[in-house]
Amino acid sequence: MLPTVRPGNPNFGSGPTAKRPGWSLAALEGALLGRSHRAAVPKARLGEVIDRSRTILGIPADYRVGILPGSDTGAFECAMWSLLGARGIDVVTFESFGEGWLTDIEKQLKLTDARAMTAPYGELPDLSAVDPARDTVFCWNGTTSGVRVPDGGWIRDDRAGLTLCDATSAAFAMPLPWPKLDVVTWSWQKVLGGEAQHGMLVLSPRAVERLESHRPAWPMPKLFRLTKGGKLMEGIFKGETINTPSMLAVEDALDGLRWAESIGGLPALTERCERGLGAIAAWVERSEWAGFLAKRAEIRSPTSVCLSIVDPTFAALGATGQQAFVEDMCGLLAEHRVAYDIQSYRDAPAGLRIWCGATVETADVETLLPWLDWAYAQTRSRLA
Ligand SMILES: Cc1ncc(COP(=O)(O)O)c(C=O)c1O
């Protein structure tokens, strides 16, 4: 039966994600548009993004926090291009973005001493096999598989290598153990629902040491240059961006950060994500057709919640039929303005991915669930 109530906000896609509750264009009215980002007042706004991010996330005072071009990809590639090559690298991959970083390392940087530690979608590789003498590259939360590393216990405090952590869909959604992490990146378009544009780069003192002592074997584009004359360009970490930022996107990022503070900071953000996942978990428990792609609860992501279809009829469709089924199902949900963009990522197994980041209301997730049952039943009944 067609459910009667629609979610208040049908934006359940994994990025750009839903704007914070109550957001409207009015939030951007104070944006410093048409002005130089290097003038004192606009530069202070950029600095404010850095300071508020540091405070909410509990980033240690001796870590640098900077705003980079090119969203998370820009920030993470800048880190890899700037830091890698000094040691062997363990690349932990368990979904598409980690695979992408491995491709960069092997095919673009052409580093030969890279060990891929790979797990299929829904699982994690054996993290105890990571060698602390080598650099480690990994995603904290695999947005396309709905798997996260459970904690930082597998990272040694006395490691000689650096840990490079892509935390795009983890920052502001789960605690990050800063002393275990030397490089952390994220983008504005994820957990706080900001506009896509810029990436954030966090560097530990050891990462800065590496930057100042290691000269990469390849040419460095201006967009990736963090040092000058062998010294860190400290200005980047005070809001002096490498190139021109969008002050409109800056204003929106600040709006998200202020909202995060107003609801209680990281504990409240984390709780909102966990509640969304909890609502889906209770429904999965009763469901005859849906299951989690990540079978183990302790590695299940509370932001990008990935679901498989466990009905044997679906399994019998084969890969192409399964894709078509999910497309039809998601088409129905979009047509009814109930859920947009919840089809699993193009490289992941066919299924659903429901974003439950901090800006998503749990009540909306709960309202969506009967619609999923309805859309599934409709799509299944159309099979010949
Ligand atoms: C884990 C991860 N890394 C990197 C990216 C790329 O982010 P961006 O498009 O903001 O550069 C994403 C985007 O979803 C992601 O989920």
Q: What is the mean pLDDT of residues 362-370?
A: 98
pLDDT attached to residue 384: 67
Q: What is the mean pLDDT of residues 18-45?
A: 97
Q: How far is the CA of 295 from the centre of ligand 1 (A)?
A: 23
Other CB atoms within 10 Å distance of the CB of residue 235 = 14
Q: pLDDT category, 159, cuts 50, 70, 90?
A: very high
17 C-beta closer than 6 A to ligand 1? no
- Residue to probe by mutation, ligand 1, list 94, 101, 143, most atoms within 8 Å of CB: 143
Q: How far is the CA of 106 from the centre of ligand 1 (A)?
A: 19
* Residue where the block lists tokens 């009814």: 336
Distances 149 to 136, 179, 297 between C-alpha atoms, Å: 13, 16, 11
71 C-beta closer than 6 A to ligand 1? yes
Other CB atoms within 10 Å distance of the CB of residue 129 = 11
Q: How far is the CA of 168 from the centre of ligand 1 (A)?
A: 6
Q: What is the pLDDT of residues 238-283, one digit of tens each?
A: 999 999 999 999 999 999 999 999 999 999 999 999 999 999 999 9
Other CB atoms within 10 Å distance of the CB of residue 377 = 13
99 C-beta closer than 6 A to ligand 1? no
Percent of residues, the chain, with pLDDT higher than 90: 99
Q: What is the pLDDT of residues 277-322, one digit of tens each?
A: 999 999 999 999 999 999 999 999 999 999 999 999 999 999 999 9
Q: How far is the CA of 89 from the centre of ligand 1 (A)?
A: 21
Q: Is the dihedral of CA 144, 150, 154, 159 positive or negative?
A: positive
Q: What is the pLDDT of residues 107-133, one digit of tens each?
A: 999 999 999 999 999 999 999 999 999
Residue 324 Cα to chain centre, angstroms: 27
166 C-beta closer than 6 A to ligand 1? yes
Nearest CA among 31, 37, 32 for reference residue 240: 37
Q: How far is the CA of 88 from the centre of ligand 1 (A)?
A: 24
Q: How far is the CA of 2 from the centre of ligand 1 (A)?
A: 35
Q: What is the pLDDT of residues 346-358, one digit of tens each?
A: 889 999 999 999 9
